Structure 1
Amino acid sequence: MSLYLDNAATSFPKPESVYQAVMQTMREVGASAGRGGHRRSLEAGRLLFRAREAVARLLSARDSSRVIFTHSATEALNLALRGTLAAGDHVVTTAMEHNSLLRPLYLLRGQGVELTIVNAGSDGLVDPADVRRAVRPNTRLVAVGHVSNVSGTIQPVEEMITVARKAGALFLLDAAQSAGSLPIDVSGSGIDLLAAPGHKGLLGPQGTGFLYVAPRVALRPFMAGGTGGHSTLEEQPAAIPEGFEVGTHNMPGIAGLAAGIDFVLDQGVSVVGGKERSLAESARQGLGNIPGLTICGPPDPLLRGGVLSFTVAGFDSAALAFALDQRFDIAVRAGLHCAPLAHRALGTFPGGTVRLSPGWFSTTAEIAFFCDAVVECIRTAGQ
């Protein structure tokens, strides 16, 4: 049995419709959107519009033109930060963030942006009151990851959005681990900026992502180049979305992303996320009686997404993951998961954790096999 339990990094496999959309776009469309008036380019433009509409449906966004396609969530986060912040602005973020958010903030800190990182509890939860206390008169942005990629902790973002609103600040949500598994209503909740990848919970190809920008946000471009329009301007146009989608679109990837979103919406976001969380909870229960094994994150399964991290006393996490791969063909992730501050908060720095993240196509039988394999790896390592 070959098991893939690393869906928090990249979901696999994809729905058949995703593979078909990618190949069909390459074979039958071929052209670039907005780069010609011929029928193939116009069809690419229609495909691009349909993909924006799919994202808007997923996020309950009223205007699909506020969706900017990027090549990753990392690019989307950089665009959100560089497009809104200037020297003298203050940002509040948390210790549970991925380096995709923290490193751009560190870079901006060196350029005059002030930064406060709010700590988390040992379960990975951030107290909104701590976020409120971190706010200053010059706070421009509150930036938070919806679900921890390490512990699966679901942050109380609704309360944090309220904090940002009262402070007159923008709110940026990193939805890398929640898009496609937790319902998100950007219009109703007051989210100003939302970044997400296409290749994780949305079941699309790698090299895809997007940034949602609320109407009240005046975004500045941080890259310049061809957009297919406004060609006489010397400066980069700030029209959304065209001015922010520099260069040729990844049309096969975007078509696959749209197909992935359609698949998730057909199943139901709550259904998809519920299955992933149920499987993670089954793993938690299956591993719970192993001596020396500690599971990270909140004990309440309602406060965790479909990610489960653990350590085993006396065992190197990387070595355990390697054994699972080599002996049982089980793919999991080990280490710091690009979130070193989160591991400090959780008490798992510097060794990191073993992380499993089931997906829509995972089964209860696979989770049971995984738990048995962990027991066997630990047993034989002591011999």
Structure 2
Amino acid sequence: MADQPDWGKIRDEFPTLSRKIYLNSCSLGLLSNSVRNALHRFIDSWNDHGAAAWYTDWMAEIGSVRQRFASLINASPSEIAILPNISSTLGVISSSMDLGPGSEVVTTALDFPTVAHHFLAKERIGVATKIIQSTDRVKIDFTQFEETISPATTLVATSHVYFSSGYVQDVGPVVDLAHRNGALALIDDYQSTGQVPIDVKELDIDVLVSGGMKWLLGGPGTAFMYVKEDLIEKLSPTVTGWFANRDQFDFNPNEMVFRDDAGRFETGTPPVASIFAGAEGLKFVNDIGSQAIRDRTKAIAGRLVDRLKDEGFKLRTPDDPERHASITMVEMKDPALAVEELAKRDIIVDYRPGAVRFSPYFYNSFEDIESAVTALCEIRQALEV
């Protein structure tokens, strides 16, 4: 696409927007015409070729999604594993680390709960999990990481963008602090990849996990795990499957020889339909460019914040636009009811405890924002009666 994207033309690629104002991309990105067509290609391939589709189309599509995700984060395709969800990525990578008595994991209360849940479940094998609490429900101060991470720390797991506040964390110093204490750094990039650029090489990230369901426009079913090249052969998972075997099509049950690349962290048969959708979603994002998307989304989210403040709403969101991703939390008396009332007006948002959650994306317009804020003001007035 051109250096200056035609946002109106891009918007036309998402049919839902002709019927609704959609401001919930942090839960699920919208379906584009191109992703719909990709899913039809999968169905046609299955219908035309049966099992032979693995060789005519499907393996190539797996390669495409791997390459496109790698390109987005400045990695090599050989450093990317494909799994069905983030919980699976955590299970595989943690099984590679020989966690047990004496192991310590540091995470935060603002990270998506599956991260803490995964490691808390390992308490029975002796893993200690430290969860840093937020003082303002928006961010974690770097000094809190400094007070918590120590030479006893095995792994630091935190987010680039916090799902509950939209805060863009400066993960570079956190990664560096982990390394200085002999720990690995795992970054959950699910709420960032696509809308906020990231460079795994520049930041020296050890492991990064993300997925196609939100800002990458690929729907549910596909997750990605980057593992730094010089770590790959040092890590051998015990949660595994036949796709991790170097010689998988020898069908030899008597030995397990892991692949030399990040494919060693894959498990069973991949979710091919989701991979078709995910590859096309990634192409859409890559064609626009992550910085262009960031600039556009920052402008849209900035307008949303300004209008909400103008109307006197209390926000649980970063004040600094450079630290604010799309996610915008609006505190309300009954957020669930507010979301329900907005849906009656064909305005789709979400809620989390105590707040309505908006998450516009590049395909939204400034008119969407004005309509949504006007509707929210009407709903607030009705709730206060």
Instruction: Confirm or deny a common fold (TM above 0.5).
Output: yes
* Aligned mate of 2:279, from 254, 258, 262: 258
Check conservation: 1:224, 1:246, Cα contact below 8 A: yes
Aligned to 1:341: none
Q: How far apart are the structure 1 equivalents of 2:113 and 2:66?
A: 27
Match of 2:368 in 1: 366
Residue of structure 2 aligned with 1:22, choices 33, 39, 58: 39
- Given candidates 304, 318, 322, the residue that maps to 1:298 is 318
Letter in 1 for 2:220: Q
AA aligned opposite 1:15 = S
Given the two structures, how large is their TM-score scaled by the length of structure 1? 0.87
User: 2:160 corresponds to which residue?
Assistant: 146
1:77 maps to 90
Does structure 1 residue 324 correspond to structure 2 residue 325?
A: no
Q: Tell me how far 1:222 sits from its aligned partner.
A: 4.2
Q: Which residue of 2 is the match for residue 208 of structure 1?
A: 222
Shift of 1:237: 4.2
For the 8 Å contact 1:18–1:260, the answer to whether it is kept is yes
Q: Which letter maps to 1:180?
A: G
Distance 1:200 1:5 in 2: 12
Distance (whole Å) between structure 2 residues aligned to residue 224 and residue 31 of structure 1: 32
Partner of 1:231: 251
User: Which one-letter code corresponds to 2:113 in the other structure?
Assistant: N
Q: TM-score, with normalisation over the residues of structure 2?
A: 0.87
Q: CA deviation at 1:233?
A: 3.9
> More displaced, 72-81 or 360-369?
72-81
Mapping for residues 1-383 of structure 1, pairs under 5 Å: 2-12=20-30, 14-28=31-45, 40-41=54-55, 43-61=57-75, 63-87=76-100, 88-122=102-136, 124-217=138-231, 218-227=234-243, 228-229=248-249, 231-234=251-254, 236-239=256-259, 240-291=261-312, 293-312=313-332, 315-326=333-344, 328-336=345-353, 352-383=354-385
CA distance in structure 1 between the partners assigned to 2:227 and 2:187 by the alignment = 11
SS in 1 for 2:26: coil
CA distance in 2, matches of 1:287, 1:121: 23
User: 1:219-262: per-residue Cα shift (whole Å, max 9, x none)?
Assistant: 33343443343531446543244443322221221122111111
CA distance in 1, matches of 2:241, 2:139: 41
Using the TM superposition, give the Cα deviation of residue 179 of structure 1 relative to its aligned residue in structure 2, in angstroms: 0.5
Q: Which amino acid aligns with 1:302?
A: E
Amino acid of the structure 1 residue aligned with 2:84: H
Matches of 1:215 and 1:124, distance apart in 2: 33
Cα shift readout 1:3-44 (whole Å, capped 9, x = no counterpart)? 2211101111x3322221222123125699xx98x6752532
Alignment RMSD:
2.3
In structure 1, list runs of 5 or more residues that go unmatched.
Answer: 337-351
Alpha-carbon contact 2:105-2:128 (below 8 Å) kept: yes
The answer (yes or no) to whether the contact 1:139–1:169 under 8 Å persists in 2 is yes
More helix as a share of residues: 2
- SS at 1:288 equivalent: helix
Amino acid in structure 2 at the alignment position of 1:151: S
Matches of 2:90 and 2:372 in 1, distance apart?
34
Task: Structure 2: state its 5+ residue gaps.
Answer: 1-18
Report the 3-state secondary structure (helix = DSSP H, G, I; strand = E; otherwise coil) of the residue aligned with 2:314.
strand
Kept in 2: contact 1:279–1:364 (CA 8 A): yes
Between the two proteins, the alignment pairs up a number of residues equal to 359
Q: Secondary structure at the match of 1:52?
A: helix
Measured in 2, the distance between the counterparts of 1:359 and 1:29 equals 33
Taking structure 1 as reference, are residues 30 and 71 closer, same or farther at Cα in structure 2, changes over 3 Å only?
Answer: farther
Per-residue CA deviations over 1:312-359 (Å, capped at 9, x if unaligned) read 3xx211121122123x122111123xxxxxxxxxxxxxxx21101012
1:85–1:140 CA contact under 8 A, matched in 2 = no
- Partner Cα distance (1:139, 1:42) in 2: 47
Q: AA paired with 1:161?
A: V
